[in-house]
Amino acid sequence: QVQLVESGGGLVQAGGSLRLSCAASGRTFSGYAVGWFRQPPGKEREFVAGVRWAGAITYYADSVKGRFTISRDNAKNMVHLQMSSLNPEDTAVYYCATRDKYSPRLVVGSEYDYWGQGTQVTVSS
């Protein structure tokens, strides 16, 4: 059984940075896409960033492009989300996800099979 655990969330002031991590057990990330999603208070879950293992292709939501960076650590079987220039609109529960099947898309949450429990990120103004 694949299990994902996020860490690194917390409270930060606007303009600050946080680094989220996603650790996998039960299977390696290698060869599979990984995505970060978030759910702001009272809103739907939305795509944030994703990475294809093949070629390390990354993709970002427009709202975070230039501020967030997704990266992988093959040796530790982890994926990170470096978040900079945070603003209150980034406040959300952040989830990492991975999947078994190939899809050309990274942004569709329903195409992911495994999800972490989420980590809270709160950005104060």
pLDDT band of 31, cuts 50, 70, 90: confident
Of 105, 107, 115, 89, the closest CA to residue 3 belongs to: 115
The counts of H helices and E strands in the chain are 0, 11
Residue 48 reports pLDDT greater than 90:
yes
| Distance separating alpha carbons of residues 63 and 4, to the nearest angstrom | 25
Q: What is the pLDDT of residues 65-104, one digit of tens each?
A: 999 999 999 889 999 999 999 999 999 999 999 999 888 8
Average pLDDT over residues 6-10: 98
User: Is-contact 16 123, C-beta < 8 A?
Assistant: yes
